[in-house]
Chains A and B, each alone.
Chain A
């Protein structure tokens, strides 16, 4: 069995109320790295750019974010090498991203959005003055203390950090115990 798969966060639509606290927390923790964004609304001088996206659908709502695929179509399609795998997670380097949108088209989850790139509290400008954009997607809060901010901030525990290998091990043991209970099935 392949060891060290990428972890990911999944939402639960039965618990999610669509409050977008996850999107705000995501933006806040990531902006602290490059922008002087504090903990209150008044400190925000740049566009709010989350890396997960609250999605409304027929039956309810839930945040949708990157699965950190092991054979990631976004990574494979990126011509600039702006998407790489670091510590098993699929990470976009916004400095390298040229906004070609190939990754958006390759991703089957819609987990990537092109959003304005801000640095040092200002929108980054291109040669002709246009705002630079970048492919914004979940990096599982790489480098953020305490792990994914969306999971920590959700008031309804509607987000779960998945360690796929550890969960599969637990599920296998339960399946084995079920076999013990059904051994006299004939």
Chain B
């Protein structure tokens, strides 16, 4: 099973530290030293704030990913319990963006890479569960209120088993009465 990061809206205070942690993990600490106007901040998860809630939203790493099915370039693959975009194959067709029901994919400029008309390359960008980064997802590590959890197969299976046992106990109690 693919893993995923899940936000808890009750704990999230909307501070956006997860977004900064994400960019630092993927691009390095030099982002704090460059001129902010010369730099495009491209986090792979996005803070949603409504009147009711604040919580970051990111890729669910679906088991049958709609983005992967929609990609005409074969740029989206499942690897190491995650759905990962190979941006070198991406041509920015937005099919994945349209296919994803969670709004988890954005299109971002690739600094220093250009198209034939001189415009910077624009490619799909989404959570890769910090694939290859020691310590796992940076958003989970940096959240000051521990509002983000990396959910793995065992945890999900344990939670389901616990709920089934609780349901069985309740039904058993009903039958006894």
Contact = CB atoms under 8 A, between A and B. Distances in A.
Given A8-B94, A71-B115, A167-B98, A183 B8 contact: yes
A185 interface: yes
Contact of A78 (B91, B98, B106, B116): B116
A44 B92 CA distance: 37
A33 to B, nearest CB: 24
- The B contact surface, by secondary structure, is loop
A169 interface: yes
A175 B57 contact: yes
Contacts of A77: 116
Contacts of B94: 5-6, 8, 67-70, 162, 164
A109 B70 CA distance: 11
A10 B97 CA distance: 13
Nearest to B160: A185
B34 interface: no
Interface in A46-93: 67-73, 75-78, 81, 84-85
Interface string B92-136: 111101101111111111000001110101110000000000000
A186 to B, nearest CB: 5
A127 interface: no
Given A69-B91, A175-B102, A176-B53, A1 B108 contact: yes
Interface in A9-54: 10
Contact of A167 (B92, B93, B103, B108): B103
A69 B73 CA distance: 12
A2 B106 contact: yes
B46 interface: yes
Given A108-B72, A168-B97, A172-B48, A69 B92 contact: yes
A157 to B, nearest CB: 17
A152 interface: no
Nearest to B42: A1
Contacts, number: 126
Interface string B145-164: 00000000000000100100
Nearest to A176: B48
A166 to B, nearest CB: 10
B55 interface: yes
Interface residues of A, number: 41
B143 interface: no
B9 interface: yes
A164 B100 contact: no
A66 B49 CA distance: 34
22 contacts: A5-B122, A6-B94, A69-B91, A70-B91, A70-B92, A70-B94, A71-B92, A71-B122, A73-B91, A75-B117, A76-B115, A167-B103, A168-B100, A170-B103, A172-B46, A173-B50, A174-B103, A175-B101, A176-B9, A179-B7, A182-B6, A185-B6
Given A71-B90, A108-B93, A170-B103, 5 more contacts: A68-B94, A69-B94, A70-B107, A72-B92, A183-B8
Minimum-distance CB pairs A-B, first 6: A70-B92, A171-B103, A70-B122, A176-B48, A172-B103, A108-B72
